[in-house]
Structure 1
Amino acid sequence: MNAGLLLLRLLLAGLLAGHAAQKLLGWFRGMGPDGTAPVFESWGFRPGRPLVLLAGTCELTGAALIGSGTATPLAAAVVMGTMIVAAAPNHPNGLWAHLGGYEVPFVYGALALALATTGPGAWSVDHAAGMEGASGPLWALAATALAVTAAIPALTLRRRNLRTTAPASRPAARDD
């Protein structure tokens, strides 16, 4: 089980770090902060550049914490909150990614929730620090509550910004 949890953590961390690198550095065919900012603004996340930097930093922080198995409930909350916000622009398209849906952020957030529930396993900083008791349904519930609470301001700002923007001026959402 510990090997499986380590593999799960490292895979999720690698994918999150890749998305962060697309936003922050333009790696992996990403557009970097300046190229991603107009996309964020079209989704209602304004001002675009600072919010791109915030999203990328949250993804990178979540990746580092999840990958190392450090403060796992907090790490899960960071990832889930970021993914709740990331799912919003594609929510009208439904779940499936091939139809422009929110499948990718849903899966990343769900994996983070699973890790908050199970804990990171014995091969983690949490275990080495004697924090293996910081997991389970109550910790997962607390992480989810923190994630939702943290996502609300960004989603509220987005909703307000979209109400003040004419629908014809918004480009179609795209996956980064």
Structure 2
Amino acid sequence: MRVTAERLRAASRPDATTTQPLSTSAADVGILLLRLAVGLLLAGHGAQKLFGIFGGPGLSATGKGFEDLGYSPGVFFAGLAGASEFLGGLGLAVGLLTPLAAAAVVGVMINAMATTSPNGLWAANGGMEFPLCLAVAAITIAAVGPGRLSLDRPFRWRDGGWLSAAVAVGLGAIGAAIVLALK
């Protein structure tokens, strides 16, 4: 039997029954740190809105604040924003359904930027630099992928790509547009 380059490559590929050891690269650790920092900060902000923990005002007080910003009914929109931050943040932190988690974050951050845009990019009373950075971080995580140290490890979007980034941006923008239109 003649040995060809293709047969050698096929023989060196693991089949479905072979398990490969988890090799951790600096990139895997780096994206994990980014996911944890961004995701847990967002989840904390969402928890402040929804549950009143971490010094947050809770849903009814946050709802009044949303009413003052023109979102009516305020409690509904506060709950939507809080849930998007909480669930999207947790999804990013653990690397679960990463393109959808990033879309939730992008959507709520577009609304945050729309609300803070009259203050400009940098402002002591709340500019749009913080929501912009969080949105870009979420898109970056979707584009690069959550990496091998994530719950998305078995799925192909673990490695990110244009489709994952497009899902994050597209669904986030559609969600934000719907909320802004209903505002």
Q: Distance in 1 between matches of 2:157 and 2:107?
A: 23
> What SS is found at the alignment partner of 1:125?
coil
More helix by share: 1
Question: Which gives a bigger RCO, structure 1 or 2 (Cα 8 Å, sep 6+)?
Answer: 1
Q: Which portions of structure 1, spanning 4 or more consecutive aligned residues, are displaced by more than 2 angstroms? A: 97-100, 130-134
Q: Is residue 141 of structure 1 aligned with residue 170 of structure 2?
A: no
Unaligned runs of 5+ in 1: 159-176
The residue that corresponds to 2:176 in the other structure is 151
Structure whose alpha-carbon radius of gyration is higher? 2
Q: CA RMSD in A?
A: 1.5
Q: Is residue 120 of structure 1 aligned with residue 146 of structure 2?
A: yes
The residue that corresponds to 1:47 in the other structure is 73
State the Cα deviation string for residues 113-143 of structure 1 (Å, max 9, x = none): 000110011101111x232466112321232
**TM-score, normalization by structure 1:** 0.83
**TM-score, normalization by structure 2:** 0.80
The sequence identity of aligned pairs, in percent, is 43
Q: Distance in 2 between matches of 1:132 and 1:141?
A: 12
Gap change, CA 1:18 and 1:157, over 3 Å in 2: same
Unaligned runs of 5+ in 2: 1-26
Q: Is residue 95 of structure 1 aligned with residue 121 of structure 2?
A: yes
